[in-house]
Amino acid sequence: MTPRRVLPVVLALAAALAVLVLWPKKASSPEDEIRALVAECVRAANAHAVGDIAEHLAEDFKGPQGARKSEVKQMLAYQLLRQGEVAVVFNPTLEVDVPADSQGHLVGHFVFGRVPAKSVNELPQGSVSAIYRIEANLARRDGQWIFVDAKYE
């Protein structure tokens, strides 16, 4: 190709890239933001990064039996770090409700597996160390969703 033929192609590609990069992005819904927060917490659990999960708990967080944020952090550390037993965490079900702009509610199941796997269906029989049903309330504070209370079964 001659330079005269290449230039229009390069300009067209540059224009397409500029449109793609600069085009306004659709704002996430509060439900999508909460789902993304849960996904981030699951990734942190898989990395055994308890502190990264605790960052999403309100300072006035109320957990099961009145557990405070520091106590929940200790429970998470025990569950995720004990003898390397938990290799993977999955969240196969998650229901999210946003009754108000700054309030959210979720119910989800979280599966803790003893061996690495890419999905909950790939966990070998007998390799599930725990399954929790977690119900939590969230609040939007300073533009971010955080957990304000939770209970589990």
Tell me, what's the pLDDT at 87?
Answer: 80
The tens digit of pLDDT for each residue in 6-20 reads 554 444 444 444 445
The tens digit of pLDDT for each residue in 52-68 reads 999 999 999 999 889 99
| Inter-residue contact 55 to 49 (CB < 8 Å) | no
How far is residue 89 CA from its own chain's centroid? Answer: 11
The order of strands in the sheet holding 88-100 is 57-62, 144-152, 128-141, 103-113, 88-100
Number of Cβ within 10 Å of residue 72's Cβ equals: 20
